[in-house]
Structure 1
Amino acid sequence: MKGCIARILIFSLVLAWGMASADGIYTWTDAQGRVHFGDKPAENDQAKTVNVQINTFESVTYQSLDKGLPASAEGSGKVVMYATQWCGVCRKARRYFNDNNIPFIEYDIDKDPKAQARFDALQGKGVPVILVGKRRMNGFSAAGFERLYR
């Protein structure tokens, strides 16, 4: 038993040391003009540290909306999703809607400035933001969506 605890303690210390030594993400441009990203700076000391902010939801939250809804969704049972192409959770929601024949309107906030403005008006902090009538889902889970939709 003591041996098991000692192994767990050593493993935890090694893991914590490895996490503490991670400095971040770096970017640099090579002689051919290509931009690179990595977890270690380039040897030529030209690398700059990148501040990475994740803007997808880690868990699903729900809200009732009395105001701030786009006119296309207000008072209806329409499904509206504010998303991006690179978002994995958005892809999961999109696939779920398509597989279950759920009609939805998708707005890509990276490509459509008007969609970005509506997303900002909703005080969106991450993607996806899914509207079902006057209800809002931040993130996506199939079970949670079914509770809102059905």
Structure 2
Amino acid sequence: MMKLTYSLVLILLSFSAYSQIYKWVDDDGKVHYSDSKNRPVGQNAEKLTLKVNTYTNISYQVEKKRVEKVVMYSASWCGYCKKARKYFASNSIPFVEYDIETNKRAKREHEKMGATGVPVILYGNKRMNGFSVEGFKRIYTPG
């Protein structure tokens, strides 16, 4: 249910980067989300402040630890993660994926790296935050 709620909020955010999201609970206990304050009379709406943790820009850095395979820290709802998966599969690039929402160890490692979004892609001693084909080609040099 949490993933569904989170996905709904992300979909609502995609319509406008500057929209405000409101949440309220009806008399039956059902939670509602909207980008409008319009709601049934007597229902108090809570204004939500959301932080989306997907990288919008790609950045690179050199990691201390060398990784000899492609490793991706991801989330199931992440569009850039999906694009990376598809690219890896279509180009026969073996990779290991860790979902930071379902794997506690992956979440800890993601936090330990100081990462704030997904995907985080590691190869060799290089790290890529976000994903683009051109950007990935810069860090990926199979031996």
- What interval of TM-score do these two structures reach, taking the shorter chain for normalisation? 0.7 to 0.9
Q: Report how many aligned residue pairs link the two structures.
A: 123
Q: What is the Cα deviation at residue 23 of structure 1?
A: 6.5
What letter matches 1:36 in structure 2? H
Q: Supply the distance in 2 between the matched residues of 1:46 and 1:123 (Cα, whole angstroms).
A: 37
More strand, by proportion: 2
TM-superposed CA distance for 1:75, in Å, is 3.0
Q: Deviations over 1:2-35 (max 9, x none)?
A: xxxxxxxxxxxxxxxxx9xx76110112233221
Question: Who is 1:71 aligned against?
Answer: none
Name the SS of the counterpart of 1:133 in structure 2: strand
Give the distance between the partners of 1:83 and 1:53, measured in 2 at CA.
Answer: 16
CA distance in 1, matches of 2:23, 2:67: 46
Is 1:54 the counterpart of 2:52? The answer is yes
Q: Which runs of 5 or more structure 2 residues have no equivalent in the other structure?
A: 1-15
2:68 is the counterpart of 1:45: no
Distance, in Å, in 1 between the alignment partners of 2:19 and 2:120 is 32
Q: Give the Cα–Cα distance (whole angstroms) in 1 for the partners of residues 88 and 72 of structure 2.
A: 10
Matches within 5 A, 1:18-29: 24-29=20-25
Deviation at 1:48?
A: 0.7
CA RMSD of aligned residues (A): 1.7
Unaligned runs of 5+ in 1: 1-18, 67-73
TM-score of the pair, normalised by structure 1: 0.76
